[in-house]
Chains A and B, each alone.
Chain A
């Protein structure tokens, strides 16, 4: 079945640094979503991307839907301590492949003040 490879698995950075993480797949997706999970809570949607090549920002977050529809990246600029958490990418398969939402393994971000 479809799989997403998310990297890196974990990151330890200093406050103020920029962060980049990405997801790749051998399959194409119609939608890419980026979620953040705070400790002890459920994932919360950060950014949704619906069109190949789309670049979307939400405050210090920027995400792009790869032109091949097989990848996406998320950048966080000027990280702060509350950015700590697990970030998940998720891709939705085309309708003729079930329209399922597939999640990456997650990137655990630690920010040192």
Chain B
């Protein structure tokens, strides 16, 4: 059982370039999330999708867009990358967006913007 799969694992971009981070889950979960992890700041929510067809902003959405392509897949797009977006990005999923549905995380995408 793969769980939550993220691609790519590593990426280096130049300022202004665009890219899409891919995420897929095989647990039939309804809710999916994108977080970024920066040293000393824990995990901060960028966007989430409570169910297929819906997306909502999290704590730090500026500079990002998302697409819930279907129930399995949730992608994160950087239209014009900036050095401040250098971070480790984690996708997560849960059965539903409620307090008794813990998150299951992928292994992360390490992004460097030069």
Contact = CB atoms under 8 A, between A and B. Distances in A.
Interface residues of B, number: 23
Interface stretch (B14-22, B42-50, B74-82): B42-50
A88 B102 contact: no
A54 to B, nearest CB: 13
Interface stretch (A13-21, A40-48, A70-78): A40-48
Interface in A26-78: 30-31, 33, 35, 40-45, 48, 50
Contacts of A9: 40
24 contacts: A4-B42, A9-B40, A31-B100, A35-B105, A41-B108, A42-B106, A42-B107, A43-B43, A43-B103, A45-B104, A50-B99, A88-B42, A88-B43, A92-B99, A99-B97, A99-B98, A99-B99, A100-B58, A100-B59, A101-B45, A103-B35, A103-B43, A105-B40, A106-B40
Q: Chain B interface secondary structure, helix, strand, loop or mixed?
A: loop
Contacts of B104: 45
Nearest to A29: B99
